[in-house]
Homo-oligomer: A and B are copies of this chain.
Amino acid sequence: MVTSRDVARLAGVSQPTVSRALSDHPRVSEATKARVREAAKALGYAPNAIGRALSTGRSTRIGLVVTDLENQFYTHLVAPLHRELEELGHELVLITESASSASLAERVAAYGLAAVVLSTTTTDSIQPARLRDRGVPFVYLNRTAASIDADSVTVDPEPGLRALLEDAIARGHRRFGAVFGPRNTSTGELREQVARTVLDEHGLQLAHRDVLHGPFDFATGHAGMTTLLDGGDPPTLVLFGNDVVALGGLNAAVERGVAVPGVVSVAGFDDLPTSGWALVRLSTVAYDLDAVAREAARLVVARLEEPGSEFRHVVHPTRYVARATIGPPRS
């Protein structure tokens, strides 16, 4: 391993001078800087992040806490987040909440993470509270927790979801079903609430038996659609908590030969790339997921640079994307 001491020796200076030269300290002469840079290059030197982190007390490593890496949604969230963090000179460490091991806060401390992006779905505020108590900066991504404030990037489901539902109502739908996300989820709850409000405004409501809940995954949608279809007189449109769930529902319908939108219409939320496929054509609510993820990256980094600043709450708008899975209701 090449250390700054090796570089110092080759450049004929002291180790601290190497450190200063490479970080472009103004008190180092240009000549020395050039010599040091050359020596560093010759040896293939790169400052050791471990040593630096230990010395400065901060690290450039940022944790992303997710529930289900296998979930397609996270793919499209991790990629831009990672890209942006990398551009800002930070690294991404993935963390899943495995109940088995230590508490999140402890693991953050152990891993030496500078900050954390919380993208787990549950509103459970124990973890945020612990993070705050430990002084670990964190940012909410696509979720919030009522009791603990922090920077956040979220999505306002209202415009998109309203447009979607009003389109459905205009087409003649009256019996709506829903497979929402988990109950203790800020995003899920908000979407459900908006949906109920919009329907209510049109004198409609969700019958209790037509509303299901479950994790934001394929299986939930699949099982949900199956249940709704198995019940007598299924709803004419099923609203899903997000696209991954909707895709599960859509496939369940296709599997049993139930025409979409001929027999049931299907609505999603997120507009994942898959939803736009010619094979799928899912009608859904869209927003700029890429921008949301990048925004989260910028917020964390900003928080690290200005720890005392006021919390920022960025909200992205949504819009309705009408494709092929919402049609007129069966007569």
Contact = CB atoms under 8 A, between A and B. Distances in A.
A227 to B, nearest CB: 17
**Copies of this chain, tallied across the complex:** 2
A111 B1 CA distance: 13
Interface residues of A, number: 53
A329 B69 CA distance: 39
Interface in A123-171: 134
A70 B75 contact: yes
Contact of A46 (B44, B54, B79, B110): B110
Interface stretch (A5-13, A99-107, A194-202): A99-107
A111 B98 contact: no
- Find the residue from A2, A94, A134 having the highest chain B CB count within 10 A: A94
Nearest to A48: B112
Interface stretch (A31-39, A85-93, A233-241, A296-304): A85-93
Nearest to A250: B279
Contacts of A91: 93-94, 111
Interface in A52-106: 53-54, 59, 61, 69-70, 72, 74-76, 78-79, 82-83, 86, 91-94, 96, 98, 101-102, 105-106
A242 to B, nearest CB: 16
A220 B101 CA distance: 42
A96 B82 contact: yes
A232 to B, nearest CB: 23
A207 interface: no
B70 A76 contact: yes
A93 B92 contact: yes
A50 B53 contact: yes
A28 interface: no
Given A91-B111, A247-B277, A70 B79 contact: yes
A248 to B, nearest CB: 9
Contacts of A280: 279
A109 interface: yes
15 contacts: A2-B109, A46-B110, A48-B110, A49-B111, A50-B53, A54-B54, A69-B75, A69-B83, A70-B76, A74-B75, A75-B75, A86-B98, A91-B111, A93-B93, A251-B278
